[in-house]
Structure 1
Amino acid sequence: MALTHLLYLHGFRSSPQSFKAQLLKAYLAEHHPEIVWHCPALPPAPFAAAALIDRWYAALPADARLGIVGSSLGGFYATWLAAKAVTARVVLLNPAIYPARDLRAQIGEQTCWHDPTQRFTFTAAHVAQLEALAVGLLPNPERVLLVAAKGDELLDWREMVARYPGAHHWMLEGGDHALSNFSELLPQVVAFLVAHTVPGAAL
């Protein structure tokens, strides 16, 4: 069945202005204008972010065919959603595997990447919420594509691989956490979402 809706979930301190989100949005508009695009601004509070995602998911038409793309912390939220949206096709871009552990060091006042005038406070309660949102192994890993850069300077690609057994693993030599070369990856990412065509480098 053809994909009808695509949800993009951005990372910590990011926004819908993420360059990966904007590249993907433009690519879909050119090549797959029939797909409904949605990229919400996720609140800093994990429970609020999950509730926002859940409300949108619950409002989808009954015959919707969903694709999910999550980057970094957005990959954690995408995994949470994929645990119940079991027919969705999912692409995880350098996903956060243990955000409660890794973001504990970020407790305090933070600024937003795309608008430093916007500030928020990340708290110990938010860390506890991340712990509560963790899910187990995904029920349909064959519908998941992990894109992991071995050169990620923030997250360990080995933890990503171990977290998603049975998924398609597209390992990138070098690279960085932001996937600065995302424009080169786009055609294969979209091909996986719309036709389940696995990139040649996938296992």
Structure 2
Amino acid sequence: MTKPRYLIYLHGFNSSPQSLKAQQVHDFLTENQPQINLIIPELAVNAHEALSQIKQIVDNIKSQHQTANIGFVGSSMGGFLATKCSEFYNTKAVLINPAVAPYRLIKHLIGEHTNPYSGKSFSVTEQDGEELAKLHFDNIASPNNFWVLLQEGDETLDYRDALALYQGSRITLEPLGDHGFVGFNRFLHAIVEFLFEN
């Protein structure tokens, strides 16, 4: 019997399940791989809360289907969270312009924000940075579990940080592009193959 397959998509900071890449994943799976269960949680801004959300989802899946095949796709901050969860559960993950040391960015983000999708307001504090610093990691235990998609034109993050951290992982580095990763949908078929190949 085929193991049930779950793809968990993790959006970035101040993003949403309604984001372009999340919807591209949804549309691709609906049309091409309807047997894969897609979960796109609306993640808490606080990283600890977001990790708790994700682990609850995975634990719920495993309580129903112990042998379920679970893969992560994470963009930016979602890439950081996907890395933490992939290492914890020993599952595969595809990371799109992932945040490597997000605690370093907090000082630029402290203050009030409005989510462009939901219209909800929230604030980022120094404490958020301190909590992120506690989650920081300097190396990857299972580099073979990761495929990292990077574009040199990323205006938010330095792609070289990810190149250094994910040594030994599968890496696709493209010139130009931007933080959203131009042309992401070109990779969807290959992403599904990477996550769920036997």
Q: TM-score range by the shorter chain?
A: over 0.9
Q: Which runs of 5+ in 1 are unaligned?
A: 197-203
Following superposition of structure 1 onto structure 2, how do residues 30-179 of structure 1 map, counting pairs within 5 Å? 30-60=31-61, 61-86=65-90, 88-115=91-118, 117-179=119-181
The Cα shift of 1:2 comes to 6.0
The Cα shift of 1:76 comes to 0.6
Overall identity of the aligned pairs, in %: 34
Cα 1:134–1:3 shift into 2, 3 Å: farther
- How many angstroms apart in 1 are the aligned matches of 2:155 and 2:138? 26
Instruction: State the number of aligned residues.
Output: 194
The Cα shift of 1:102 comes to 1.3
- How many angstroms apart in 2 are the aligned matches of 1:10 and 1:164? 20
Following superposition of structure 1 onto structure 2, how do residues 12-23 of structure 1 map, counting pairs within 5 Å? 12-23=13-24
Letter in 2 for 1:96: A
SS in 2 for 1:166: coil
1:187 paired with 2:189, answer yes
Letter in 1 for 2:67: D
For the aligned residues, what is the CA RMSD? 1.6
Contact 2:86–2:145, Cα closer than 8 Å, also in 1: no
Letter in 2 for 1:83: E
- How many angstroms apart in 1 are the aligned matches of 2:78 and 2:45? 11
* CA deviation profile, 1:76-126 (whole Å, cap 9, x unmatched): 10111112111x1110000001100012210110111223x3110111111
Cα 1:2–1:148 shift into 2, 3 Å: farther
Letter in 1 for 2:89: A
Contact 1:3–1:193, Cα closer than 8 Å, also in 2: no
- How many angstroms apart in 2 are the aligned matches of 1:135 and 1:3? 31
Higher helix share: 2
SS in 2 for 1:83: helix
* CA deviation profile, 1:148-188 (whole Å, cap 9, x unmatched): 00111111111111011110011111111001311222222
- How many angstroms apart in 1 are the aligned matches of 2:74 and 2:126? 23
Letter in 1 for 2:19: S
Structure 2-normalised TM-score? 0.92
Q: Which runs of 5+ in 2 are unaligned?
A: none
- How many angstroms apart in 2 are the aligned matches of 1:137 and 1:38? 27
Give the structure 2 partner of residue 200 of structure 1: none
- How many angstroms apart in 2 are the aligned matches of 1:15 and 1:76? 16
SS in 2 for 1:8: strand
- How many angstroms apart in 2 are the aligned matches of 1:41 and 1:114? 11
* CA deviation profile, 1:26-57 (whole Å, cap 9, x unmatched): 11111111111111001111111111111111
Letter in 2 for 1:92: L
